[in-house]
Chain A
Amino acid sequence: MGGANNKNCELVGTTMIPYRISYWHIQPAWIFYLLAAVAVGIFIFGLITHVSVWIKGIKRQAIHLSWSGTSNLLLDGLLGLRIFRGDIAAGTIHLLILWGFSGLFVGTVLISVDYWLHHFLKGSVYLWYSTCLEIVGLMLLVGLVWSLIRRYLQHVPRLERRLEDLTVVVLLFVVVLSGFMVEGLRLAAQRPDWALWSFAGHWMSLLWTNHHQGALSIYPYVWWAHALLSLGLIAFIPYSKLFHMLAAPASIYLENQPLQAIPVETRGQDDEVFSYRDMIFFDACTRCGRCVEACPSTGAGEPFAPRDFIVWTRNDLLMKYHPLNHFDWFTNWIKRRHTREHVFDTQKIWYCTTCRACLDVCPVYVATPDTIRQARGKVVEEGIQVPSLLTQTLKNLYKYNNPWEATKKKRAKRSQDLEIPDLSKGEEAKGLCYFVGCTTSMDIRAQELARSFARILKHAQIPFAILGNKEPCCGDIARRAGEDGLFEKQMEDSVELLGRYGIRDVVTSSPHCFHTFRNEYPAFQALKPAEERLELRVRHYTMLLRELVTAGSLRLERPLNVKVTYHDPCYLGRHNRIFDAPREIIAAIPGVEMVEMAHNRANSLCCGGGGGRIWQEDLDADVNMAEIRIREAEAAGAEIIITACPLCLIMLEDARKTSSLEYAVRVMDLNELVATALSPPVLGGENHECCGMRKTGS
Chain B
Amino acid sequence: MNVVVCVKQVPEVTDAELEINKEGIGILKEDLEFDINEWDNYAVEEAVRIKEAHGGKVIVITLGDEDSEDVLRVALAMGADEAIRIDEEAFELSDAAGIAQGLYHVIRDLSFDLLLTGAQSSDYGWGQVGPILAELLGLPYASLVVGIEIDEGKMIVHRELESNTQEKVEIPLPAVLTIQTGINNPRYVSIMGIQKVRKIEIKETDSGELGLSEEEIGLMGSCVASQELSLPAVGEGAKILTGSLNEICEKTAQIIRDKAGVI
* Residues of A participating in the B interface, judged by any CB pair closer than 8 Å: 264-265, 269, 380-384, 386, 388, 390-391, 394-395, 398-400, 405-407, 409-410, 483-486, 488-489
Contact = CB atoms under 8 A, between A and B. Distances in A.
B192 A406 contact: no
A679 B35 CA distance: 51
A383 B187 contact: yes
Contact of B78 (A383, A400, A488, A489): A383
Nearest to B35: A399
Interface of B: 12, 14-17, 31, 33, 35, 78, 185-193, 195-196
Contact of A381 (B12, B31, B78, B190): B190
Given A265-B195, A399-B33, A485-B195, A383 B190 contact: yes
Contacts of A384: 187
A72 B191 CA distance: 38
B35 A405 contact: no
Nearest to B79: A383
Given A405-B15, A407-B15, A485 B191 contact: yes
Given A399-B35, A400-B33, A405 B14 contact: yes
9 contacts: A380-B188, A380-B190, A381-B192, A382-B187, A395-B188, A399-B35, A409-B31, A484-B192, A485-B191
Contacts of B15: 405-407, 410
Interface of B is mostly: loop
Contacts of B191: 264, 398, 483, 485-486, 488-489
Contacts, number: 55
Given A265-B195, A405-B15, A489-B191, 17 more contacts: A264-B191, A381-B190, A382-B187, A386-B188, A394-B188, A398-B191, A399-B35, A405-B14, A407-B15, A409-B17, A410-B15, A483-B190, A483-B191, A485-B190, A485-B195, A486-B191, A488-B191
Contacts of B192: 264, 381, 484-485
A488 B195 CA distance: 13
A269 B195 CA distance: 12
Contacts of A382: 187
B14 A383 contact: no
Nearest to B186: A391
B195 A381 contact: no
B185 A388 contact: yes
- Among B14, B17, B188, residue most surrounded by chain A Cβ atoms (within 10 Å): B188
Contacts of A386: 187-188
Given A399-B33, A485-B195, A383 B189 contact: yes
Contacts of A388: 185
Contacts of A381: 190, 192-193
A596 B94 CA distance: 68
Nearest to B78: A383
Nearest to B32: A407
A399 to B, nearest CB: 4
Nearest to A398: B191
B25 to A, nearest CB: 24
A650 B25 CA distance: 43
A382 B188 CA distance: 8
B188 A383 contact: yes
B240 to A, nearest CB: 15
